[in-house]
Every structure is written in C-alpha cells, then in structure tokens.
Amino acid sequence: MANQEYAEHLARAWSLHRQGENEASIREFSGLLQISPDNIDALYGLGLAQRSAGQIETSEATFERCLAQVLATLEQHAGEDRYEMLRVLTSQRIAEVKAIEQ
C-alpha cells in the first residue's frame, strides 16, 4: 500500500471513530496494523475505538503496545514534542482503562 493510500485509510479509520462507528473503525485500524504493525497513530486509534466499544481489556493491551512503540521511537527521537505528547496521552489512556476495570 502506497503512503498516500495508507494515509487515506488512516483518515477513514479516524473518521469512523469520530462518527461513533467503533466496530468499523476497529476493523480499519486493525487492517492498517496488518500492513504496518508499529504504526503509532493506528495503535492509538485502535485503542480508543476498542475502549469506546467497551473492549476495555483489549484496549488496555493496545495502549500498552502503543506506549512501547512510542518509547522506542523516543529513544531515536529524544525530546521530539509529538512523541513526548503521545507518551503522556497514551499513559493517561492506560490509567483510564485500568480505572474502568476496577
């Protein structure tokens, strides 16, 4: 899949999530991750869609996977604001889903 096509697919997945079409969004994000398993944007979006669909334990695992990828990326791009922000946001999402589980 070309970069432009991947970006369009990612935009469609996010749009479905914003529209509350969580199952369709989960399928789209999952399909993207089959092509690019470490894509942070797809991982984060998948975690959000799973959480919205009530798949709390699954979303926690996805957010944990996302955080691991963010931290690995930060090792290569230390101090980059985007990844620092994603580290914080992903950590917050993990805390939120853990609170829901309790």
DSSP 44-86: HHHHHHHHHTT-HHHHHHHHHHHHHHHHHHHHHSTT-HHHHHH
Specify the pLDDT at position 77: 85
pTM of the shown model? 0.93
Say whether pLDDT at 16 is over 90.
yes
Considering only CA atoms, give the Rg of the chain.
13
**Nearest of 29, 34, 37 to residue 12 by alpha carbon:** 29
Percent of the chain with pLDDT over 70: 99
CA atoms of 59 and 7, how far apart (whole Å): 22
pLDDT in tens, 19-29: 999 999 999 99
Q: What is the DSSP letter of 39?
A: -
